[in-house]
Chain A
Amino acid sequence: MSAEPRPRVGLFATCLVDLIRPSIGFASAKLIEDSGCDVVVPEQTCCGQPAFNSGDRKTAKALAMQAIDAFQGVDYVVAPSGSCAGQLKKHVPELFADEPELARRADAFAAKVYELMSFLVDVRGVTAVDARFEGSVTYHDSCAGLRELGIRAQPRKLLESVEGLTLTELKDSDVCCGFGGTFAVKYGEISDAIVAKKSDNVAAAGAGTLLAGDLGCLMNMAGKLQRQGRPMKARHVAEVLAGMGDEPAIGEPQA
């Protein structure tokens, strides 16, 4: 019996992971490899969402085309972020809807794009991971992943298989943390008020660790918890699933 060929997955690390927290990229690569795929990391910058959401379609299109070119020749494009995956999967086709030639390329590209949790569970059929994490965690559903891509059950299912981990549900886990990309800086005061409510809910959940699937939201929530002197640690769900949960948490001093 010949083994099925291993799909070639292009890891779209996302610019935040690339710049701020490479450990999420390595955790993602491990999880994708463990699911029976080969991982490549084509040269990449940004999915273009900040430009798209700021009304700068021209830059958004240029960055989308750059990504489409860079990820030619892979079977899948996987991103550890519902927000960036949503941009590439849902919004990139919108950007080229009026240009038939480019639209075909954009649609074909978008069809290959998956958010990491969805890729592992829905595409690769992963039901369990080989990881240990001692302690209780709670989970925030980031907006784009939840509402654009339907990601809710997948991370919870995989977390169930982590040895030693207990999941406590977060009140209003589906409510925005107030990040919103550039919103967090442009309307910082409102963003801060929204994340203050999230922080209260995280504290009330009573878990030691907050997990989510988007680094932007995590940095926002971690930043608030830390400013308020709360002890909860924030990590990307991929890090815990990949058994890299002992890395210093987001915003914690490097060893």
Chain B
Amino acid sequence: MNAHSTSPAFKENAHRALNDPALQRALGNVETGFIGKRRKAAAKLPEFEDLRDSARDIKNHVLAHLDLYLEAYEAKVTAAGGHVHYAPTAEDASRIVVEICKRVGARTVAKGKSMISEEIELNTALDAAGVKPIETDLGEYVIQLRGERPSHIIAPVIHLNRDQIESDFRRVHTGLPEGRNLDAPESLLAEARGILREKFLAADVGVTGANFLIAETGTSVIVTNEGNGDLSQILPKVHIVLASIEKLVPTLDDVSQTLRVLARSATGQELSVYTTFSTGPRRPGDVDGPEEYHVILLDNGRSAMLAGEFRDMLRCIRCGACMNHCPVYHAVGGHAYGWVYPGPMGAVLTPSLTGVKEAGHLPNASTFCGRCESVCPVRIPLPKLMRHWREREFERHLSPAPVRAGLAVWSFFARRPLLYKLATRAAMSVLSLIGRGKGRFSALPLAKGWTAGRDFAAPQGSTFQARWNAQARTRR
């Protein structure tokens, strides 16, 4: 089953988020932490815009020939001694992981950061099977301590402030001295590292995601900043890679090009601290590496997207730039979106994966300001794709009744210019008379969403067209 969703309650979620002072304080970091860094990194690289074109073209090419690349990739993984498992659904993917864990008698699983594991709710499945998942990414570790979900695809705890994490650590890490100083983010990291180190060594299975899968070599690639992903995949005797099918790229060269836009778009780094390539299990003579290497390729609705108008979305390389630049995300944070993927990319992807009936609010809750598209490293036309969802909703009569009614009245008049002229001239004159004294309205019955927090300007008087025509007559 897909992860539990609260997307239908987007408005209520947003209301809560807007009234949560701690969250609002934390969200300030999104604007200050990412935008300037990306801008600088992009400006420093003269060919950045060309690289975006190139990354788009690479992904488009893969999507056009995905079947061939999947077969080629599988052959290479197998040749390197690894195993490829196809998972049509989220349940299938979780089941395959659990089966491997049971077969090798695993008690604990060390996990690197993986949004696919969130999508398939892997931790729930592992817990149910009596296998303990241990998140090793600092952010994911905090999320696990709090029993939450990530609120951002690359910065899972962007919704939290340092002091909140400190109090979680003091609550959970009970064996440590009470008077220890945890004021600096580095001290939090050091404490988590100390605790996680033992768990890495004890883990029987390591699960990681993949930023890329390379067809040419059968390699999976992860980019991280903490090194936890490397330990997760090298120390345990079994390494499982969880990846969705669109992560494929043809060659090592293609990865090198795409990596040049990924970190710059995400965090403004030229490259993330670790970029790790894994190909198959440990070979004779290797100093480390797992004994077994598995790749689980998740479809979960993606092959259906390939054939339709949402195909462009499959280019996404999960950098998070769209949400980092989104005014709606800045206002409400990631949890309000109610499922795994927030922000503009989530507003397009989530309805594809959970259904537009479930996630219809998401593509509607956008001002179409276009800032997401302007920073997307693979140039996904996010507003256009959100609009496609609105079209599907409209066709299927899923749009809210008041919206449909308002639109119907408006278009009735807008399509009849003569009637429009008479009606608007009369209406504006009346509104203008009522609003004249103050020049604006502080409440309007049909626009409460507006006037709850803002005034609404009163019309100047008659319409422009009426005045223009009157003047033209006197000129003649």
Residue ranges of A at the interface with B (Cβ–Cβ < 8 Å)? 13, 15, 17-26, 29, 41, 43-46, 48, 50-57, 59, 62-63, 66, 70, 143-144, 147-148, 174-176, 178-197, 219-220, 222-224, 226-227, 248, 250-254
Contacts and interface: CB of A to CB of B under 8 A. Distances in A.
Contacts, number: 222
A253 B450 contact: no
A17 B374 CA distance: 28
A219 B371 contact: no
B392 A55 contact: yes
Given A194-B331, A195-B454, A183 B407 contact: no
Interface stretch (B118-126, B204-212, B286-294, B436-444): B436-444
A66 B454 contact: no
B449 A186 contact: yes
Interface in B452-476: 452-465, 467-469
A218 B393 CA distance: 30
A175 B424 CA distance: 32
Contact of B452 (A46, A50, A189): A189
Contacts of A182: 403, 406
Contacts of B453: 188-189, 192, 195-196, 224, 227
Chain A interface SS verdict (over half) = helix
21 contacts: A13-B464, A18-B464, A22-B463, A43-B465, A46-B410, A144-B370, A147-B369, A147-B370, A176-B371, A181-B368, A188-B449, A188-B452, A192-B452, A194-B330, A194-B367, A195-B454, A219-B456, A223-B440, A226-B454, A251-B455, A253-B436
B450 A184 contact: yes
B394 interface: yes
Nearest to A63: B414
Nearest to B328: A190
Given A189-B452, A248-B439, A143 B371 contact: yes
Contacts of B364: 183, 186-187
Contacts of A193: 18, 331-332
Given A52-B387, A183-B365, A189 B14 contact: yes
Given A189-B14, A190-B332, A254-B436, A21 B457 contact: yes
A62 B369 CA distance: 25
B447 interface: yes
B325 to A, nearest CB: 9
B192 interface: no
A194 B327 contact: yes
Contact of B399 (A52, A55, A252): A55
Contact of B465 (A13, A46, A184, A195): A13
B327 A178 contact: yes
B285 interface: no
B181 to A, nearest CB: 35
B257 interface: no
Instruction: Across the A-B interface, give the 3 residue pairs with the lowest CB-CB distance, nearest first.
Output: A188-B449, A180-B367, A55-B394
B369 A55 contact: no
Chain B interface SS verdict (over half) = helix
B454 A223 contact: yes
B456 A223 contact: yes
Contact of A219 (B328, B399, B457): B457
A48 to B, nearest CB: 8
B394 A56 contact: yes
A29 B328 CA distance: 36
Given A18-B465, A227-B442, A250 B457 contact: yes
Given A22-B467, A23-B460, A43-B421, 18 more contacts: A22-B461, A25-B464, A26-B467, A44-B417, A51-B407, A51-B410, A54-B394, A55-B389, A55-B394, A62-B411, A66-B417, A148-B370, A175-B369, A183-B367, A183-B368, A186-B403, A193-B332, A251-B439
Interface string B385-416: 00101111111000110010011001101110
A22 B407 contact: no
A250 B450 CA distance: 16
Nearest to B384: A94
A51 B415 CA distance: 12
A54 B414 contact: no
A194 B387 CA distance: 21
Contact of B449 (A24, A174, A191): A191
B271 to A, nearest CB: 28
Contacts of B144: none
B420 interface: yes
A187 B465 CA distance: 31
Contact of B454 (A25, A52, A224): A224
B369 A176 contact: yes
B190 to A, nearest CB: 35
A22 B464 contact: yes
A46 B421 CA distance: 12
Contacts of A180: 366-369
A19 B452 contact: no
A188 to B, nearest CB: 3
A45 B414 contact: yes
Contact of B459 (A19, A185, A197): A19
A189 B339 CA distance: 21
Contacts of B458: 20, 251
